[in-house]
Amino acid sequence: MKALIVVDVQNDFCPGGALEVKEGDQVVPFINRIMGNYDFVCITQDWHPKNHGSFASVQNKDVFSMGELDGGPQVMWPDHCVQYSPGAQFHPELNAKEGEHWFFQKGEDPTVDSYSGFYDNNQKNPSGLDELLRTKGVTEVDICGLATDYCVKFTALDAIKEEFKVRVLLEGCRGVNMNEGDVEKAVKEMEEVGIVVVS
């Protein structure tokens, strides 16, 4: 059994959003086109409370500076994907269907960030994605979405740690690339642990 994991294709990560990923909206047609090729489609959604500790505004820090959260280093993000806000909604053209696809919200705990679709960044709190995939007999996952160098990368790293066969489909990904070369580093990091990155 093979599943597609679509990561965080939300308005705030698309052009005009609070945490815009360049060309983030351009992944949508590709993802829509391939969804029908899989036994299961799982879609993750960043879903932060207003007081999330990763927000620069909450910690009185400069946006994109480094701070701390849950005892570890934390990028201070602009407020984004706040629960029930327009920015937290999926891109309007993404073919995300209730009853047909499985949805996993993440980042709800204000004390820890959650890049991966599987666990919080502290690796303590599972989202239930791993359990669902195992229950359904899934052994292989393809991953795409936003952003390559953050939530896609960490979802892929957790997937291979959980012993799934993992591919990342770069045509369906775009990166933040906060520092020049971040996307290339993320690709290398994934490949080094056995993830197949399909360009």
Q: What residues have CB less than 8 Å from 73, skipping those under 6 apart?
A: 66, 67
**Mean pLDDT score of the chain:** 96
User: pLDDT at position 98, please?
Assistant: 85
CA distance 25 to 118: 23
Q: What percent of the chain has pLDDT over 90?
A: 93
Catalytic residue among 12, 151, 158, 173: 151
Q: Is 144 a catalytic residue?
A: no
Over range 12-36, report the average pLDDT: 97
Span 131-149, pLDDT tens digits: 999 999 999 999 999 999 9
Q: What residues have CB less than 8 Å from 199, skipping those under 6 apart?
A: 170, 171
Span 27-54, pLDDT tens digits: 999 999 999 999 999 999 999 999 999 9
Q: Is 46 a catalytic residue?
A: no
Over range 52-74, report the average pLDDT: 94
Catalytic residue among 8, 46, 79, 113: 8
Question: DSSP letters of 114-168?
Answer: --SSSB-TTS-SB-SHHHHHHHTT--EEEEEEE-IIIIIHHHHHHHHHTT-EEEE
Give yes or no for residue 12 having a pLDDT over 90.
Answer: yes
Question: What domains are there in the chain, each with its CATH number?
Answer: 2-44+81-198 (3.40.50.850)
Over range 80-99, report the average pLDDT: 96
Instruction: Give the predicted TM-score (pTM) of the model.
Output: 0.96
Q: Is 25 a catalytic residue?
A: no
Report residue 161 as tokens.
């740690």
Q: How confident is the model at residue 196 (pLDDT cuts 50, 70, 90)?
A: very high
Quick check: 26 and 174 in contact, CB under 8 A? yes
User: pLDDT at position 43, please?
Assistant: 98
User: pLDDT at position 156, please?
Assistant: 98
Catalytic residue among 12, 79, 106, 120: 106
